[in-house]
C-alpha cells in the first residue's frame, strides 16, 4: 500500500509550495497530522472544485486548513467558502494560511460547534459540501445540510473506510462507537433516494454524494 501511495503521489500534480509548507508545519506541531487531507487527496478535492466552479462551499471540520485551501482553488468569481472548526487553538494557524493564500476575503472561518454554526447558515444554498469532522455525527451533518444543497450539487464525506474497520469480517473492539457510526452512515446513504453515491477507496475513503 505504501508503494501504491508513493506511485500515486509521483503521478499526481505537485503539491503547491504553500500547502507543502502547511503539511510540514502540521506534522511538526499538531497531534494526529494524518487528519490533514494531504497531497493526493488535496489535489483531488481541488480538481473537483475546479470542475464545478462552485459559488458556495461548506466545509465541516477545518483542522489545519489544508482541504480548505484546496477547495477554495475552484471558487467561481464572487464565490465564498465557509469552514467550521470546533477547536479554537487551531484558529490562528488557519487564518494565517488563508491570508497567505490571498483568500481572507473569500473564506469565512467559524469557530464553534458545527451544529450551532449550521443554524446560522440555514439560508445558504451550497454547491459543494465537505464533511470531515466528528464521525459519529456524519448522519446529523448530512441531514442538516442536504436540504440546502442545490440539485446537482456535491457532498463529500471523508474517512468512510475508517482504517478498514468498516469492512465485513473486521473484529470490532467493545464500545467502538465511531466505527459503528461510520458503518451505519455508509449503509444509510447507499440507499438514500435523494443522492447518487460513489464510494472511492482513496486514502481513508471518500464518499461522493451527488444530489439528485
pLDDT at 79 over 80: yes
CATH class for the domain made up of 2-211: alpha beta
Backbone angles phi, psi at 56, to 5 degrees: -135, 120
- Output the furthest CA–CA distance in the chain (Å, rounded): 50
Write the DSSP string, 102-130.
T-TTTEEEEES-HHHHHHHTTT--EEEEE
Measure the CA angle with vertex 133, ends 130 and 138; round to 5°.
80
Q: Are 72 and 101 in contact (CB under 8 A)?
A: yes
Q: What percent of the chain has pLDDT over 90?
A: 92
**pTM, entire model:** 0.96
State residue 50's pLDDT score.
98
Domain residue ranges in the chain: 2-211
- Take residue 126 and report the three cell numbers written for it: 451550497
pLDDT (average), residues 190-203: 97
Write out pLDDT tens, residues 90-138.
999 999 999 999 999 999 999 999 999 999 999 999 999 999 999 999 9
Look-up of cell digits 503521489: 9
CB neighbours of 206 closer than 8 A, spacing ≥ 6? Answer: 41, 44, 156, 157, 158, 160, 199, 200
Amino acid at each position: 500500500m505504501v508503494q501504491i501511495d508513493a506511485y500515486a503521489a509521483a503521478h499526481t500534480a505537485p503539491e503547491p509550495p504553500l500547502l507543502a509548507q502547511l503539511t510540514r508545519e502540521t506534522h511538526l506541531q499538531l497531534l494526529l497530522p494524518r487528519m490533514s487531507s494531504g497531497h493526493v487527496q488535496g489535489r483531488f478535492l481541488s480538481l473537483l472544485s475546479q470542475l464545478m466552479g462552485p459559488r458556495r462551499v461548506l466545509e465541516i471540520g477545518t483542522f489545519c486548513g489544508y482541504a480548505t485551501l484546496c477547495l477554495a482553488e475552484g471558487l467561481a468569481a464572487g464565490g465564498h467558502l465557509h469552514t467550521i472548526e470546533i477547536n479554537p487553538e487551531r484558529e490562528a494557524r488557519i487564518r494565517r494560511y488563508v491570508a497567505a493564500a490571498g483568500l481572507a476575503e473569500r473564506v469565512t472561518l467559524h469557530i464553534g460547534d458545527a451544529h450551532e454554526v449550521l443554524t446560522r447558515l440555514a439560508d445558504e444554498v451550497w454547491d459543494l459540501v465537505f464533511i470531515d469532522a466528528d464521525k459519529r455525527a456524519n448522519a446529523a451533518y448530512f441531514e442538516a445540510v442536504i436540504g440546502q444543497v442545490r440539485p446537482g450539487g456535491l457532498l463529500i464525506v471523508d474517512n468512510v473506510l475508517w482504517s478498514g474497520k468498516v469492512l465485513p469480517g473486521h473484529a470490532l473492539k467493545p464500545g467502538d462507537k465511531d466505527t459503528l457510526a461510520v458503518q451505519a452512515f455508509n449503509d444509510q446513504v447507499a440507499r438514500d433516494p435523494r443522492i447518487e453515491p460513489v464510494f472511492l477507496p482513496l486514502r481513508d475513503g471518500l464518499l461522493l454524494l451527488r444530489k439528485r
